[in-house]
Amino acid sequence: AYWPASGKLSVETLSAKYSEDGPKVLRDLNFTIKSGERVGIVGRTGSGKSSLTLALLRCILTEGKVYLDGLPTDSVNLSALRSSITIIPQVPELLSGTLRQNLDPFGEYDDAVLNDSLRAAGLFSLQHSEDDARLTLDSAISSGGGNLSVGQRQILALARAMVRRSKLLILDEATSAIDNETDNVIQASLRNELGKDVTLLTVAHRLQTIMDADKIMVLDAGNIVEFGEPGEL
């Protein structure tokens, strides 16, 4: 089964916390994001941006409803849910093994597909060092991914989303850990290489990312304080 079919996301009274007796870090959020929309999520540090990305995948304790294409995600098993959405975290953790194993853990795709996705995601356009130029599918990845930069790890995660043809992509932009050149590569890949039907949520730290978005969501202390087109806010 190919799910989700489009990538429309709606959320009803979504609350989240990190532990049973901990404070709510998201408070009764309600919003709908249309299939193919690109939404920038902004807010001060600690406002709940990363928590929202985790809550959508039920990686933390949640109350309320999340619908993907109208289907409540609590009726879908977690592994199906996690394979139809790709999250690119602020600092992706990789598995020790090869670059190929990280991109295609179940050995489902041809090398040509994998190399195309790495190229589209922009891995080979970064050449900080001789070693960057030599990255191949057989390159060894150390535990956690420590031998790749944070930007390269995000690009690898983006390539994985492309291989899987995820319809919902959630990017938690790295801030200090990533240089402008790398961020530009990622933004260009998202603009030029993602299908028009892919729904993209970006936790944004750069003005450029916000300007490019169809809509901006502003979080403050776990609440949505604004949600609309960039020109309206």
Q: Which residues bind Mg ion (CB under 5 A)?
A: 49-50
For residue 169, the partner it binds in Mg ion, ligand ATP, none, with Cβ less than 5 to 8 A by kind, is none
Asked if residue 82 lies in contact with residue 122, where contact means CB atoms within 8 angstroms, the answer is: no
- Sheet with 9-17: strands ordered across: 24-33, 9-17, 61-68, 71-72
For residue 209, the partner it binds in Mg ion, ligand ATP, none, with Cβ less than 5 to 8 A by kind, is none
Give the separation between CA 29 and CA 107, rounded to whole angstroms.
38
Residue showing the smallest CB distance to Mg ion in the complex: 50
Tokens of 196: 């028009």
CA atoms within 13 A on the CB side of 108: 8
CB of 22 to ligand ATP, least distance (A): 6
CB of 45 to ligand ATP, least distance (A): 3
Give the separation between CA 132 and CA 124, rounded to whole angstroms.
7
Give the separation between CA 195 and CA 31, rounded to whole angstroms.
23
For residue 51, the partner it binds in Mg ion, ligand ATP, none, with Cβ less than 5 to 8 A by kind, is ligand ATP
**Which residue's CB is nearer to Mg ion, number 50 or number 152?**
50
Parallel, antiparallel or unpaired: strands 85-88 and 140-141:
unpaired
CB of 136 to Mg ion, least distance (A): 32
CB of 60 to ligand ATP, least distance (A): 8
For residue 4, the partner it binds in ligand ATP, Mg ion, none, with Cβ less than 5 to 8 A by kind, is none
For residue 3, the partner it binds in Mg ion, ligand ATP, none, with Cβ less than 5 to 8 A by kind, is none
CB of 213 to Mg ion, least distance (A): 17
For residue 89, the partner it binds in ligand ATP, Mg ion, none, with Cβ less than 5 to 8 A by kind, is none
**Which residue's CB is nearer to Mg ion, number 50 or number 149?**
50
Asked if residue 111 lies in contact with residue 119, where contact means CB atoms within 8 angstroms, the answer is: no
Cα 205 from chain centroid (whole Å): 14
**Which residue's CB is nearer to ligand ATP, number 21 or number 110?**
21
Which residues of this chain interact with ligand ATP, rule CB under 6 A? 18, 25, 43, 45-51
Give the separation between CA 7 and CA 156, rounded to whole angstroms.
22
**Which residue's CB is nearer to ligand ATP, number 16 or number 103?**
16
Alpha helix segments (H runs only) across the chain: 49-56, 78-84, 99-103, 111-121, 130-133, 150-164, 180-193, 207-212
**Which residue's CB is nearer to Mg ion, number 27 or number 119?**
27
CB of 174 to Mg ion, least distance (A): 10
Give the separation between CA 77 and CA 58, rounded to whole angstroms.
11
**Which residue's CB is nearer to Mg ion, number 120 or number 177?**
177
